Chain A
């Protein structure tokens, strides 16, 4: 009997307490920094090594390079086209881990819903323009090793 009354008191207290519901989509949802969202591509940094396309588990990255028009620079190839097919991309972050120059990094954006599959095929221009909320830590293993090495 006493338990019933105490239970009623508990639910009355929760009536006036703060609710845990997120106000998404009225308020943006803040993700932690290491969240793997949609990629950001910086064409200046890419050296067309093809590691990202090789390691991608779903083969969603297709890229082509061209001979560097600048004869002075050491870089042999520059990036010509770079497409990610987001119907296939699983946001697994392997392309970021393997990229030697951090040309492809992930952001914290995740809203990519569209009404047509055509809109999910993103090209280099779109990926370059997707530069908000970029992740700060892109190679967690390397960063941890550097911190440990630097400390030790």
Chain B
């Protein structure tokens, strides 16, 4: 990819870039189908039951059947809903989730862009989803929907701050906001990975990421039994599938970010294991991050909205500030 990016932009280059974007979209859609399948299987196994196992061998075609069902459903737009915003909201919610995949380096040669402000780009673009969510709640012309959207917007905004500040510690260590540089600074043995010097930052990141993704235990915005499915209650069929797709693509993106920034990206735990390609190591670590999200979902109950906001503003933000100060002091003393 470096080769193509260093040449001046011509038709050949453009075709390579466009084809690789389409390939990424295809891979992401396939991955989402099997992420949903494995979530249902793992959560089932953790609850003493088997997950889906009847549709196709071992239930592998279950998500395909679900997606087909959603596509064939009737497209209902409520009569008094704001029609243009109603149609725009799922699109606004989904496109940032796919766009942030551009800055995550998957291996030494497989990356899509080499932005010097990669971290900034990730946080800024992922904030655009919140606009889509709030518009969905407003345009549905439904009080519960609006309430869910307000709560969801408040939660996502509140937890973006500790998310950014926890990453700032690694930016200070690596000296750059370029995610590829952050990964390159973690080469060598596994104790060079950023999770060890930045363990406070990593803990804050984990909690803030789970809250940002609106997953259990912070999934009040879309609690099926509490808020009647929250901001996407009036959406049916393919539009609802878009919101689900957004959530799962964000899981992919956040796990990819955690792998790149804290777990050493494509580096092997020990240099003598270099013969295994970097992409495989990236996928193993990414898969563990996704499994951790499923594990937490199967284990913990939901927190209340006021407990959630208190925790984010009064505990996580001061903790991440302390982490930044400690890192800055340490960098001054050591350097």
Contact = CB atoms under 8 A, between A and B. Distances in A.
Contacts of A21: 49-50
B298 interface: yes
A7 B50 contact: no
A7 B295 CA distance: 10
Interface of B: 42, 45-50, 295-296, 298-300
A112 interface: no
Given A14-B47, A19-B45, 10 more contacts: A8-B295, A8-B296, A10-B299, A11-B299, A14-B46, A14-B48, A15-B45, A17-B48, A19-B48, A20-B48
A19 B42 CA distance: 12
A contact face: mostly helix, strand, loop, or mixed: helix
B299 to A, nearest CB: 4
Nearest to B297: A11
Interface residues of A, number: 12
A4 B48 contact: no
A14 B45 contact: yes
**Which of A10, A11, A14, A20 has the most chain B CB atoms closer than 10 A to its own CB?**
A11
A5 to B, nearest CB: 10
A11 B299 CA distance: 6
Nearest to B292: A8
A17 B298 CA distance: 15
A20 B296 CA distance: 22
A26 B40 CA distance: 21
Give me the 8 closest cross-chain CB pairs, A-B, nearest first.
A11-B299, A11-B46, A7-B299, A21-B49, A21-B50, A11-B298, A15-B46, A20-B48
Chain A CB count within 10 A is highest, among B47, B296, B299, for: B299
Contacts of B49: 19-21
B298 to A, nearest CB: 5
A113 interface: no
Nearest to B53: A21
B139 to A, nearest CB: 38
15 contacts: A4-B299, A7-B299, A8-B295, A8-B299, A11-B295, A12-B46, A12-B295, A14-B46, A14-B48, A15-B42, A15-B45, A17-B48, A19-B48, A19-B50, A20-B48
Contacts of B299: 4, 7-8, 10-11
A150 B304 CA distance: 65
